[in-house]
Structure 1
Amino acid sequence: MTALGGASRLDTLQRLLAGLYDSPVTVARVERLEPWAVARVWLDATPALPPSVVVKWVPDGERDARTAAWRLRTECAALRFLAEDVGVRLAPRVIAEHAGDRFVVLEDLAPRVALDRLLRRDGAAAHRERLAAFAEARGALSAATAGQAAGYHARRELAGLDAAADRAARLAALRGSAVEQASALDVALDGRSLAELDRALGLLADPGPFLALSNGDAEANNVLLHATGPARARLIDFEFAGYTHALTDAVCLYVPGPAWLTVGDPAATGLADAYRRALARGIPAAEDDRRYGEGLAAACAAWALRRLQRFAALDARAPGDHSRLQLVATLDATARTAGTHQALPHLTGWFGRATELLRRRWPDADRDLADPAAFPPYAVRR
């Protein structure tokens, strides 16, 4: 039972649930979900209790314990906001939280499993319906929460969190970092591309009607679905939740995240339409091609620039390292997405030049990423 980080936490959990359900509670077994401070807790079956719950806690004695406590409060605020204020079933419910022992109890969404696990096991072609459900859920989250930032920030303040830090913290110092990385690559951002970068960051800082809640990590590992049957998606991991430009949650459909070398063409697979339709139900401005395309290009550019901050570390690695190829793929996909939507043309050109420079600098990463035989959608980064 030490999988919960100690017997005292287990005892506290049993008492907490007993009071909540007005029923005796006995933990049958605990399954630690490594490597995170998360466990599935199976309860002795009674009519009053769910068969299992998920417990997340702050690791004892670790350097990031203070940060982890802040993240758990953020998650609780976001999940309570969705369930109690917005009234949507896109994420697990908070069953209970215990400030003293620094843990939260969440609804167990099993037997759903993480989408990235299915993609790694079977490939993307086998899970087109689940990928579409993922895209739709991301759009639906933004649609449901647009225009309700005040309610969420009130929840954050009740949880002792800084309500004003959300968006600013996500964009802080990105412009300066971009200029620095461009210099390191010897492909400087000129006046026109720099002006478009400023416009892109301005759009993200002031989203207008596109301001919506994100869980802060819109990747395939943070969506749970049934491996067979209807593909009803639930989003998890709201520890970095906050209000931001809705289209930041669409980036994962166009540009590879940390786990992947490629994600494929979302227009060809229908993921782009599934996402946009769901988004437009709550944000009609998503039907405006110009605004949508420029916002998407800006969001992809910001993501790519964050990933480009790894350049020096990757440059020092041995040839053949998959992370080098992934960075090339990231810049390439960003330029392609912006070009398709005819947005930010000078910044798009800069991303294209940076991509070609990296291909020359790293011959091992000069690969044909459009070759579906070598790089099918959701090819895994080793």
Structure 2
Amino acid sequence: MTTEQIDRLVEVESLLSRHRRASVTVTDWQPLLPWAVVRARVEGREGVIVKWMQPHPNQSRTASWRIRTELAALRFLSDDLGLRLAPRVIAADLATGLIVLEDLAPRTALDGLLRADGAAVHAERLAAFARVRGELSAATAGRAGTYHARRAALGPVDDLMGELAERREAGRGQAAALGAPITGQAERELAAALDELAEPGPFLALSNGDPEANNVLVHASGDPDARLIDFEFAGYTHALHDAVCLHVPGPAWLTVGGGPTDEHRRALARGIPEAEDDRRYGFALAAACVRFALGRLERLPKIDARPPGDDSRPQLIATMEAAARTADAHRVLPCLSGWARQVADLLRRRWPDADLDLEDRTAFPLYSPRGR
């Protein structure tokens, strides 16, 4: 055990002793690397998860900011709304940056199961993933004031949308440099899409800020019941942002999609009836997918510098094409869809090594991981 881990163990024992008003001894301590997370056991009784914040790689949020956000979001869900969609907070100490959570074992991260076994084996768990994302949005819609009051009581709140806007504008610059500027009707469609996302109306709901398969825990077999984790970047935003990961590859995948998308919409509509409006739902979903793809395009210089054969190249192509397919499927944003396909074609010509048939499910089954 490292010196830092020993210090953390002592801090956890002190925190839990104060919380329970009795001496507490931690009898087991298992780091879950590479994260600042530990699975611990308290005096042979219940297991707990201990988490503390390390500096984020891009330093976009301080450790103090992130633990306050996670604490507010989890207590909002459990204490204010009475939901069991995420782990319950057992104790927290903002001064030391510690948060102790209930252990949701034997659930395990969905992305690990997908990598090990493939998506076909875990269709039920993918459906549970989509459903729990929709349930989170449905349950938190219309409750922004309660969450914001709880979060504000813990300190200043940053503007999450400002960071997304910076990435989007960087992506626009890369598109122009590539030879595919967003102009004319495509620019007008983009403005309408961004207006929709900025003014969600009834679709305003809580997101954990990273709606990917690594942040949902499911049972490896049997009951696919799911729980969401990692609320460090939580905040209220358009609910369809949380559906993008079901349609467009996120950082970990080359391909995504399949039946679970309907599960998300059905769960969402239970709390946001407007999700049953095909036109409104389709426009917002396509808008969120295109915005995500545009933001990912800002990585072009970094990907260009990587060697031929690096999976980040076909991944970016797949991202642009998946966003276009989503818009086409809902018959919205036709010019933006055409722009996304133009970018994908330019990238295929730029990177001959990445000119692959990404829709060939024998070569690229659903949830093919990047970097395999």
Q: What residue in structure 2 maps to residue 372 of structure 1? A: 361
CA distance in 1, matches of 2:200, 2:207: 13
Q: What residue in structure 1 maps to residue 263 of structure 2? A: 274
CA distance in 2, matches of 1:174, 1:13: 38
Match of 2:139 among 144, 149, 163: 144
CA distance in 2, matches of 1:10, 1:63: 28
1:261 aligns with 2:254: yes
CA distance in 1, matches of 2:369, 2:167: 27
Note the C-alpha offset of 1:188.
Answer: 1.7
Counterpart mapping for 1:5-16 below 5 A: 5-16=4-15
Cα deviation digits, residues 73-122 of structure 1 (max 9, x gap):
10000000001111110000111111221111111111110000000111
Counterpart mapping for 1:1-382 below 5 A: 1-2=1-2, 5-46=4-45, 51-59=46-54, 67-162=62-157, 165-166=159-160, 168-174=161-167, 176-264=169-257, 266=258, 269=259, 271-382=260-371
TM-score normalised by structure 1 residue count: 0.93
Note the C-alpha offset of 1:64.
Answer: 5.0
Aligned length: 371
CA distance in 2, matches of 1:362, 1:64: 31
Cα deviation digits, residues 336-372 of structure 1 (max 9, x gap):
1110011111111100111111111111111111111
Residue pair 1:116, 1:221 contacting (<8 A) in 2 also: yes
Where does the alignment leave 5 or more consecutive residues of structure 2 unmatched?
none
Note the C-alpha offset of 1:66.
Answer: 7.3
CA distance in 2, matches of 1:63, 1:137: 28
Counterpart amino acid of residue 349 in structure 1:
G
Counterpart amino acid of residue 67 in structure 2:
L
Task: Classify the secondary structure of the residue corresponding to 1:104.
Answer: strand
CA distance in 1, matches of 2:186, 2:299: 21
Task: Classify the secondary structure of the residue corresponding to 1:173.
Answer: helix
Residue pair 1:263, 1:378 contacting (<8 A) in 2 also: yes
The alpha-carbon distance between structure 1 residues 82 and 182, as it changes in their structure 2 partners (threshold 3 A), is same
Residue pair 1:171, 1:201 contacting (<8 A) in 2 also: no
CA distance in 1, matches of 2:305, 2:224: 42
The alpha-carbon distance between structure 1 residues 131 and 15, as it changes in their structure 2 partners (threshold 3 A), is same
CA distance in 2, matches of 1:198, 1:189: 11
Note the C-alpha offset of 1:11.
Answer: 2.1
Residue pair 2:175, 2:297 contacting (<8 A) in 1 also: no
Cα deviation digits, residues 128-179 of structure 1 (max 9, x gap):
000000000000000000011111110111110327x24x325423553243
Q: CA RMSD in A?
A: 1.9
Counterpart amino acid of residue 274 in structure 2:
A
